[in-house]
Amino acid sequence: MSGIEDYKSQNNHVNVAPATPKINPGPLGLCAFALTTFVLSLFNLGAGVPSGGPVTVVTGLAMFYGGITQILAGMWEFKVGNNFGATAFTSYGAFWLSYAAILIPGFGVVSAYANTPDHTLDNALGIFLFAWGIFTFIMWIATVRSTMTLSSMFFILTITFFVLSSAHLSHLSAGNMVTKFGGALGVITALLAWYNAAAGLYDASNTFVKLPTGSLAQLKSQ
């Protein structure tokens, strides 16, 4: 007789529903965000490739991992009732899909600016990144009572968007120091995202490793 049958026989054959596994989409969404951000940021930094050069190798990542996977994680966050996670993952998933659309010639985004005045494309990209900086600042405010590592990630990501935006709006040449600085900030953001993902993945069921995240809950109003 199986263990569950033994339990039933000892408890008047009461049906026992199996425990529902806990769903935590956070690590998946964070990993998708981290890896895509890491690769693009290395390109912006000029690590192994010229800063300001072609970044179309990121297109696949932006579509399928940073984009679709994050949106799926966002939908699962809605399922578990986490409005912050749902908003963050769905939004940044859409960011990566929209970024991929800019890189894919078939969408005609870059070619549409071929006959426009100088720096029009740069201005458009600058506004695009600036708007994402505003959104990320709003998301950062929602993390100031969460954990140190999560709040730091959104804070640095906010600066990253504004720095990269300023590089475009200032009409700087490709491979400029501002873009490289934005790339360095992006690498730090990605590492923090991976750290937060690992902190969510590691528990007593799978490892002895426990990563501190620095709870900011004590800052809540009494």
pLDDT digits (tens, 9 = 90+) for 31-52: 999 999 999 999 999 998 888 8
Tell me, yes or no, whether 5 lies in a domain: no
| Residue 50 three-state SS | coil
- The predicted-structure confidence for 38-93, as pLDDT tens digits, reads as follows 999 999 999 988 888 888 999 999 999 999 999 999 999 999 999 999 999 999 99
Whether 19 shows a pLDDT value over 60: the answer reads no
Range of the domain at 58: 22-108+121-219
User: Does residue 4 form part of some domain?
Assistant: no
- 139: domain CATH number? 1.25.40
Task: Evaluate whether residue 14 is within a structural domain.
Answer: no
Residue 17 lies in a domain: no
CB-based contact 35:65 (threshold 8 Å): yes
Q: Do the domain assignments include residue 8?
A: no
Q: Is residue 9 part of a domain?
A: no
Name the 3-class secondary structure at 215. Answer: strand
Query: Does 10 score more than 70 pLDDT?
Result: no
Instruction: Report phi then psi at 221, rounded to 5.
Output: -65, 140
The answer to whether residue 15 sits within a structural domain is no
Interatomic CA distance for residues 90 and 84, integer angstroms: 10
The answer to whether the CB of 80 falls within 8 A of the CB of 23 is yes
**pTM, rounded to two decimals:** 0.88
Across 22-35, average pLDDT: 95
Number of domain units in the chain: 1
Average pLDDT over residues 118-126: 95
Question: Between 22 and 173, where is the model more confident?
Answer: 173
Residue 1 lies in a domain: no
Lowest mean pLDDT among 10-24, 28-42, 103-117, 151-165: 10-24
Lowest mean pLDDT among 16-30, 89-103, 113-127, 129-143: 16-30
